[in-house]
Amino acid sequence: MTRKTVATDRAPSAIGPYSQGIVTGNLVFTAGQGGVIPGTKTVVEGVEGQTRQCLENIQAILQAAGTSMDRVVKTTVYLADINDFGRMNGVYAEFFPSAPPARTTIQAAGLPLGLLVEIEAIAEIG
């Protein structure tokens, strides 16, 4: 099976030895995305704003891979504080209005850059 990296300037560049996304077979796996504005190191304020930016970053990576948000089959959401679940979930639902993907949400201490939320996704291509 072939493996291809995905990169776009419409999502934050990797801050370590990893790819924004990897395509293998008919799937694309995104790296965890935080609420960072592409091309900057600026972190968006608040859990709602960060959730929206995370998902916009994922959307850009998926588009660069040739797919879209409606093809996402699984996400993992990392919250610095699980009490932010409701606020994150409200924004998340805007991106997946029908037939949302499977999802795991956990509280994770010490997210990079002091992030409140980080999200990764797996999507189908084709």
Q: What is the mean pLDDT of residues 63-73?
A: 98
User: How far, in Å, CA of 83 to CA of 29, rounded?
Assistant: 27
Q: What is the mean pLDDT of residues 44-63?
A: 98
Closest CA to 100 of 112, 108, 92, 110: 92
CB 93 within 8 A of CB 15: no
17-36 residue pLDDT tens = 999 999 999 999 999 999 99
Mean per-residue pLDDT of the chain: 96
Q: Phi-psi region for residue 52, left (φ > 0), alpha (ψ -120 to 50) or beta? A: alpha
The domain spans of the chain are 3-124
The architecture of the domain spanning 3-124 is 2-Layer Sandwich (3.30)
Q: What is the mean pLDDT of residues 25-48?
A: 96
User: How far, in Å, CA of 49 to CA of 43, rounded?
Assistant: 9
93-122 residue pLDDT tens = 999 999 999 999 999 989 999 999 999 999
pLDDT at 94: 98
pLDDT at 126: 83
Q: Which two tokens stand for residue 86?
A: 């409701």
